[in-house]
Amino acid sequence: MSDIIRRDPRTEWIARNRLHPLYESVINANAGEVRGPTGLLRKNPHKVGFIGPNGIKRIDRLKGNGQGAGAVGRGKSSANEPVLALHQIEAPDFYIMVAPDLVGGRLTSHDKDVLGLAHKLCRTYEADERDQGRSSQGAVVAVCFGEMKEESLDLAGVDRLIHLQNDVFEGFAPEARLEAVAQIEQMYQPKHWLFPDSIHGGADLGSRLSARLGERPAVQAWQVDTQNTVCRGASSSIDITRATPRILLLLEECGDAIDETRHEAKALDVDAVEVSAVNIVDHGLMDVDPNAIPLAEAEFILSAGNGIHNWEQFHDAAKALGATEGASRVAVDDGFMPRFRQVGATGTWVTARVYVAVGISGAIQHMQGIGQCDKVVAINTDSGCDMVKRAALSVIGDSEEILEELVKIVNAHKGQVSPEGETLEKGSEHAA
Amino acid sequence: MIFDWLPSVLIAIVLMLAVVGAVRRISLWRAGQPSPVNIISGLMAMPKRYLHDLHHVVERDKYMSRTHVATGGGFVLAMFLVLCVHLFGVDSKLLAWALLASLVMMFTGAIFVFKRRRNPPSRLSKGPWMRLPKSLMTFAVTFFVLTLPAAGILPDGTGNVLLTLVLSALILVSLGEMLFGMTWGGPMKHAFAGALHLAFHRRQERFGGGRSTGLKPADLGVEVHGVSKPTDFKWNQLLGFDACVQCGRCEAMCPAFAAGQPLNPKKLIQDMVVGLAGGTDANYAGSHYPDPQGKGREPGSAKGSPTEVITAGLVDAETLWSCTTCRACVEECPMMIEHVDAIVDMRRFLTMEKGETPNKGAEVLDNIIATDNPNGYAPGSRTNWAADQNLNVMRDVKKAEVLFWVSDGAFDMRSQRILRSFVKLLKAANVDVAILGDEERDSGDVARRLGDDATFQNLAKRNLQTLSQYEFKTIVTTDPHAFHCLRNEYGDFGSDALDNVEVLHHTTYLNRLVQDGKLKLDTFKGGTVTYHDPCYLGRYNGEYEAPRELLRSMGIEVAEMERSGFRSRCCGGGGGAPITDIPGEKRIADMRVEDAKETQADLIAVGCQQCTAMLEGVVEPRPEIRDIAEILVDQLIEEVH
Amino acid sequence: MQPNVISLVSIGRHPQSGRARRSEQDGRALELGLKLSGSHLQVAHAGAYDSTFSGSAEETVLRQYAGMGLKQMTVLKQSSDADVIPSLSHYLESQSAQVVLLGVRAESGESSGMVPYLLAESLGWPIVSRVADIVSIENGEAEVLLALPRGQRRSVTVTLPFIATVDNAAPEPRQTAYGPGQRAQFNAVDTPEVLDELRINWVEAPAKPRPKRLKVIKAKTAAERFKAATAKAQGGSGKVMKNESAQEKAQAIFDLLIEEKVIR
């Protein structure tokens, strides 16, 4: 809520003009309650509310907070966020280490959950100590490798930060990172090591550390307190309840992300890590042809149906957009696309974030197959078809024409940003 | 006559060679696996089988049946008399006259064969078959002339050396075709092998109007599962291949061939002949396998021998996987050859030995093994469709009049509409019905047609085990595939669970209810209706009438498609064909809907969930497709109790 | 030189029926092994092998693996509550394996995915996880493609001998054939058995469905809470463009693609 009271010149103007058609309502907007002769607060039912634009009497229960006749429209300020309390730790008595994935240099929501859980454990240990009459304070340490773009480590609950930025840790360097965490283990003897159990490297590093230390980790853990841990096992079909070990590989939503406190994110020192023999050498990411990506894994699918007549153009469009090609059953049956491109219950169940359906009206089997897609775009001539109902954006018209325009725009865009990477930066910043 | 002895000697020599050929041919067949048949009674029954069963099929083409009776009958009679008159020199005018008469009959028939061959339809093989009418005529004419003296029309000793030599040459030519060719692989082989095939057929039950359509169980735990090389077939299967007369009726009926998939049943059987005798298909003169992908296999490039793996050079695996097991070829074959048995035998090798079931085959089989249904749904969700149906489950009631076999349609939302309709009808008729619930498993139909007989047998045994725990008089199912398995194939596994149990398709059962007056039906007013015969209900189980009677009881006059009844065209959904998904030029389902459109039908009535799914997969506009149970439910007059 | 490849297989578990099956990832590990060394591939399984083995679900599954074209398979005899690491590492060392392939995680048991790491640690070998393919093995080095999310790949070289866990992105295992599976021989080997003592104290129960996290709203005022509770959960019908020009329509699609960051 803003502290500044704003004037509404129009309301004031109406209030001054008794002949104004809205005079009555503006004056009565806040006049529902009057002091009666006895001093009691009385409600005049006739004066409650105002006549709405369609001539029906309306009661504004928002008491002027709503947009109704708002004598004083208070502008909302989003710029003015409250300053969260800072959680300060002078000299930590114990540490809980968290090694976030930092995908693309930023904390994932999984990382934030793990950090949140780390704080929960921290608080419990502190409370236990207090019960014993001792005072003890723990710090959550984020152990980060490589490039760091995250700007709000403090808001995610990082009390201390170990940031190892060195060529040996860049890219895929599991051995070097293992040496580093092993050294940190020796230096700080943390109470816990928490890793996100993810395919982004968290599970790998956590497993390596466990193997090195010879400690049995809790893997796929999702309910953790200082005593017991519940883990999924046997391909998520059983829950294993066990004593909480020192090393935990945690599932998503294992804890609640920090959102009410700020943290120091103070740097913590580590001695130089010595990386001995390296057996695994990273050669970087491969250039993957979008069409070589399995349909089920593809992130962006351009899918063709019965409504496509110019197949050459469709393939060109997929190439220009960098999309993986998909197809409806009919397109496959008619022999325009190979069977493994078929999307749907009888073909492949896809998980694409963006699914562009060109000339697909959407048989039930097809809709089942795209159930997990985030954003669906439909290009179709029939505005009443099921795909249009499902789509976030539907474009009604001739697919050939629209694809042609789209390819033009994309090519122009590519020409603009060809000195690579620039838009990527902008785009991702925009989204973050 | 100077060389008076010459014809007799020639006849004797050719006959000898023919016998040698016959022995050799028989030894080729005997290289196959043993299959017990009663030799004596088979041979005794052969003439009757020819006249009744075989002729019954040939009779579908009146022209050909008459021609064949004249030609074939004339030849057999003439040949017998030739031996009497000319080889053994029986001096009887009566015999000679009889011989003349039979030769005339044969000649007349041969003229019609000749006429047919002047502009043969594409399904007929050309090549050596084109000279057959000429050989037949030569035979008739030659022996006619030769017999004239014996009949007393011409005096003995007529003719000179030249005539005798000419006649002798003609004897060689005609007998070469008719006797020598018969056992050495000429067109006349069909008479020799065909006759024996009738005698030693692997499915003796088919004769005399019987029906035998269930696949034979594969031997498990042997060195090689299924058929890898020609000698892995049973010997009478090999004999059956040799009986092929290359009339191409199977080719004309095969849905896969019509859709341009790489299968031609006639060519397949001829390739089997190449395999059993060794050689190449260079001499094959009929239509080849369609080649939708333009692989361009040259005629003559298919090589085989009795001991070589069939799919390594003789027949492409794709050919075997194109078959929908619709049995149209078997139904149409005048020689009663069992194409489907052979195809599934070879599929068994591909699946159980090579692990090469194409496309989704492997996935489907894995699912069936792990979840007892082809799509890998949780077995515990099998009864979810019936949550609101208030159905008895066998595990609770132990005993019911009727067991409703739900089949895997339970997992499919479209099929569930059929199931619900059927349940509603049963309830309206107050039938004491129960289902197996989650204890039911896939019938094994798909696994078996995909060649995985191990999985089929496993499922069959477990299903039988479950069934044996409960008491019921009738099993009814809406799925003709499960119906076929239960009725015709589960009997091979030594269980008494189905003894004295009647297995019925839902249309049969509903028809009984309607005829008994247990269901009251309104008149249907929804335009023209046509009926699609599911293969596994019609050809496999002979049920053509009940569905039609049901439709009639709603006042529906079925607008029959050109191909209906035993000639019904497959929907393309059988035999795991949608799973193996061999590309063709057209889709079988599209062709079937075209058939229906020709009748101006607004509605295609079906009796099978698989057919429903296949036909509904055709792009609109097309007639509506509904199961008969669904149509009935809409016309049901519910009595208020 | 043909590398000495060993694939380790375990008993999988079908997610729907819970029945024993060929594990997805171990099947892929076996497939990759067959690709690398064909008929020289050695396959081992650590598990129960006693009088009840014949006809058991375990045997069926092992025969499914064997049905991929194995003549024989080694079974390291272990009871079901044993820690298999000593047995496996002993076996791998004795076979002087150069490449060891196995799935990322077992489908049954604890499925912690620790087995490969513990083996690597006890043998002192490098380990690469989530392999999509092994491109080549030359000069004591293997070129390996690692699977990253969304079909991306990372190229890595690793020195022999090494352990690789095989991701679901690796080529699908070939179909298992009944006949060869039935004919395959099992070589049962006695190996040291160590009881997994930690696990005995664990409590195992069928998985409880995890509550899905709701959008947590920490609203300060009633109005904010009201708004948060009644706000549409995103969705409804999307935007439909009908009469705009093709160029505008294409631009709208393009904007969405840019916004979703699928076009760069």
Residues of B in contact with A306 (CB under 8 A): 619
What's the CA gap between B579 and B571, in Å, rounded?
Answer: 14
The beta-carbon neighbor of A199 closest among C126, C149, C249 is C149
The string of pLDDT tens digits covering residues B137-182 is 999 999 998 888 887 777 766 667 788 888 888 988 888 888 899 9
- The type of residue at C124 is G
pLDDT at C233: 46
Range with lowest mean pLDDT among B595-609, C22-36, C72-86: C72-86
| Average pLDDT, integer, range B475-499 | 94
Residue range(s) occupied by CATH 3.40.50.1220 in chain A? 290-431
Range with lowest mean pLDDT among A338-347, B119-128, C230-239: C230-239
What's the CA gap between A52 and A57, in Å, rounded?
Answer: 6
**DSSP one-letter string for B411-431:** G-HHHHHHHHHHHHHHHHTT-
Residue A385 pLDDT more than 50? yes
Handedness of CA C47, C50, C54, C57 (dihedral sign): negative
Residue of B nearest to A332 (CA): B583
Chain-chain contact of C13 with A235 (C-beta, under 8 angstroms) = yes
pLDDT at B508: 96
Q: How confident is the model at residue A79 (pLDDT cuts 50, 70, 90)?
A: very low
Chain-chain contact of B378 with C16 (C-beta, under 8 angstroms) = yes
What's the CA gap between C163 and C184, in Å, rounded?
Answer: 26
Q: If 0-12 CB within 10 Å is exposed, 13-18 middle and 19+ buried, where does residue C35 land?
A: middle
Distance from CA of A124 to the nearest CA of C (A): 22
What's the CA gap between B230 and B219, in Å, rounded?
Answer: 17
What's the CA gap between A146 and A105, in Å, rounded?
Answer: 8
Site from B224, B225, B457 to mutate, C interface, most C CB atoms within 10 angstroms: B225
Chain-chain contact of C21 with B353 (C-beta, under 8 angstroms) = no
Residue B464: helix, strand or coil by DSSP?
helix
The whole-angstrom distance between residue B175's C-alpha and the CA centroid of its chain comes to 33
The beta-carbon neighbor of A259 closest among C218, C247, C259 is C218
What average pLDDT does the structure give for chain B? 91
What average pLDDT does the structure give for chain A? 82
Q: How confident is the model at residue A340 (pLDDT cuts 50, 70, 90)?
A: confident
- Rounded to the nearest 5 degrees, what angle is found at the Cα of B272, between the Cα atoms of B266 and B274? 105
Contact predicate B411/B381, CB 8 Å: yes
Range with lowest mean pLDDT among A411-425, B512-526, B545-559, C171-185: A411-425
DSSP state of B232: G
Q: Which CATH number fits domain B372-513: 1.10.3470, 1.10.357, 3.30.420, 3.40.50?
A: 3.40.50
Residue of A nearest to C212 (CA): A253
The CATH number of B226-354 is 1.10.1060
Domain range summary for chain B, segments of one domain joined by +: 6-200, 226-354, 372-513, 519-635
Range with lowest mean pLDDT among A372-381, B155-164, C96-105: B155-164
pLDDT at B349: 96
Contact predicate C151/C187, CB 8 Å: no
Residues 66-125 of C with CB under 8 A from A: 105-114, 117-118, 120-121, 125
Name the nearest CA neighbour of A394 among C260, C243, C231.
Answer: C243
What average pLDDT does the structure give for chain C? 87
Element (H, E) at B606: strand B603-606
Handedness of CA B254, B259, B263, B266 (dihedral sign): positive
Name the nearest CA neighbour of A337 among A362, A301, A372, A361.
Answer: A301
Chain-chain contact of C177 with B353 (C-beta, under 8 angstroms) = yes
Distance from CA of A249 to the nearest CA of B (A): 29
Residue that is written with structure tokens 């199912």 in the block: B477
Q: If 0-12 CB within 10 Å is exposed, 13-18 middle and 19+ buried, where does residue C191 land?
A: buried
What's the CA gap between C63 and C56, in Å, rounded?
Answer: 11
**DSSP one-letter string for A187-218:** HH--SEEEEE-STTTHHHHHHHHHHHHT-PPE
Chain-chain contact of A335 with B587 (C-beta, under 8 angstroms) = no
Residues of C in contact with B455 (CB under 8 A): 178
Distance from CA of B610 to the nearest CA of A (A): 14
Q: How confident is the model at residue C119 (pLDDT cuts 50, 70, 90)?
A: very high
Q: Which CATH number fits domain A290-431: 3.40.50.1220, 3.50.50.60, 1.10.3720.10, 3.40.50.620?
A: 3.40.50.1220
Residue B502: helix, strand or coil by DSSP?
strand
What's the CA gap between B168 and B301, in Å, rounded?
Answer: 39
What's the CA gap between B571 and B627, in Å, rounded?
Answer: 14
Q: How confident is the model at residue A52 (pLDDT cuts 50, 70, 90)?
A: low
Chain-chain contact of A339 with B619 (C-beta, under 8 angstroms) = no
The residue length of chain A stands at 432
Q: How confident is the model at residue A63 (pLDDT cuts 50, 70, 90)?
A: very low
Contact predicate B254/B265, CB 8 Å: yes
The string of pLDDT tens digits covering residues A154-166 is 888 999 999 988 8
Token pair of A25 as six digits: 């309502």
What's the CA gap between B382 and B443, in Å, rounded?
Answer: 14
Chain-chain contact of C178 with B352 (C-beta, under 8 angstroms) = yes
Residue A309 pLDDT more than 50? yes
pLDDT at A265: 87
Residues of C in contact with B450 (CB under 8 A): none
Chain-chain contact of C207 with A294 (C-beta, under 8 angstroms) = no
The string of pLDDT tens digits covering residues C138-160 is 989 999 999 988 788 899 999 98
pLDDT at A77: 42
Name the nearest CA neighbour of C171 among C30, C13, C15.
Answer: C30
What's the CA gap between B352 and C155, in Å, rounded?
Answer: 37
The residue length of chain C stands at 264
Chain-chain contact of B581 with A329 (C-beta, under 8 angstroms) = no
Residue B54 pLDDT more than 90? no
Strand A41-43 and strand A33-35: pairing?
A: antiparallel
Chain-chain contact of A286 with C108 (C-beta, under 8 angstroms) = no
pLDDT at B463: 95
Chain-chain contact of A339 with B587 (C-beta, under 8 angstroms) = no
Name the nearest CA neighbour of B233 among B182, B304, B283, B301.
Answer: B304
Distance from CA of C200 to the nearest CA of A (A): 10
Distance from CA of A132 to the nearest CA of C (A): 28
Contact predicate B129/B188, CB 8 Å: no
Name the nearest CA neighbour of B272 among B315, B322, B225.
Answer: B315
Chain-chain contact of A281 with C156 (C-beta, under 8 angstroms) = yes
Contact predicate A354/A318, CB 8 Å: no
Name the nearest CA neighbour of A169 among A201, A197, A198.
Answer: A201
Site from C22, C28, C253 to mutate, A interface, most A CB atoms within 10 angstroms: C253
Token pair of B31 as six digits: 């290289």
- The type of residue at B106 is M
pLDDT at C231: 55
The string over A388-397, giving b where at least 16 C-beta atoms fall within 10 Å of a residue's C-beta and e elsewhere, is: bbbbbbbbbb
pLDDT at A421: 40
Is any Cβ of chain B less than 8 angstroms from the Cβ of C257? no
Is any Cβ of chain B less than 8 angstroms from the Cβ of A87? no
- The type of residue at B33 is Q
Residue C224 pLDDT more than 90? no
Range with lowest mean pLDDT among A368-382, B103-117, B303-317: A368-382
Domains assigned to chain C: 5-201 (3.40.50.620), 222-259 (no CATH)
Residue of C nearest to A293 (CA): C151
pLDDT at B416: 93
DSSP state of B215: P
Give all chains having 3 or more CB-to-CB distances under 8 Å with chain C: A, B
Distances (CA, A) of C168 to A101, B360, B376, C132: 21, 18, 18, 7
Chain-chain contact of B619 with A330 (C-beta, under 8 angstroms) = yes
The answer for residues whose C-beta is within 8 angstroms of residue A312's C-beta and 6 or more apart is none
pLDDT at A431: 37
Chain-chain contact of B617 with A329 (C-beta, under 8 angstroms) = yes
Handedness of CA B545, B546, B548, B552 (dihedral sign): positive
What's the CA gap between A401 and B606, in Å, rounded?
Answer: 42
Q: How confident is the model at residue A124 (pLDDT cuts 50, 70, 90)?
A: very high
Is any Cβ of chain B less than 8 angstroms from the Cβ of C177? yes
Q: How confident is the model at residue B194 (pLDDT cuts 50, 70, 90)?
A: very high
- Rounded to the nearest 5 degrees, what angle is found at the Cα of B268, between the Cα atoms of B262 and B269? 165
What's the CA gap between C38 and A132, in Å, rounded?
Answer: 64
Chain-chain contact of A364 with B617 (C-beta, under 8 angstroms) = no
Is any Cβ of chain B less than 8 angstroms from the Cβ of C55? no
Range with lowest mean pLDDT among A19-33, B112-126, B510-524, B583-597: A19-33
Residue of C nearest to B361 (CA): C175
Chain-chain contact of B225 with C178 (C-beta, under 8 angstroms) = yes
**DSSP one-letter string for B69-95:** IIIIIHHHHHHHHHIIIIIS----HHH
- Rounded to the nearest 5 degrees, what angle is found at the Cα of C247, between the Cα atoms of C241 and C248? 40
Q: Which CATH number fits domain A88-267: 1.20.1090.10, 3.50.50.60, 3.40.50.880, 3.40.50.620?
A: 3.40.50.620
Q: How confident is the model at residue B345 (pLDDT cuts 50, 70, 90)?
A: very high
Distances (CA, A) of C113 to A35, B623, C46, C103: 74, 55, 15, 8
Residues of A in contact with C102 (CB under 8 A): none
Strand partners, A207: none
Backbone φ, ψ for residue A293 (5° rounding) = -75, 130
Give all chains having 3 or more CB-to-CB distances under 8 Å with chain A: B, C
List strands edge to edge, sheet with C153-159: A280-285, C153-159, C141-147, C127-138, C162-166, C99-103, C5-8, C42-47, C72-77, C185-190
ipTM of the complex: 0.88
Chain-chain contact of B371 with C182 (C-beta, under 8 angstroms) = no
Q: How many CA atoms lie within 13 A of A164 on its CB side?
A: 27
The beta-carbon neighbor of B583 closest among A329, A335, A364 is A335
pLDDT at A73: 40
Residue range(s) occupied by CATH 3.40.50.620 in chain A? 88-267
Contact predicate A203/A187, CB 8 Å: no
C133-136 contacts: CB < 8 A, separation 24 or more?
A: C133/C32, C133/C170, C133/C171, C134/C32, C134/C35, C134/C36, C134/C99, C134/C164
Distance from CA of C51 to the nearest CA of B (A): 21
Strand partners, A357: A303, A378
pLDDT at C229: 65
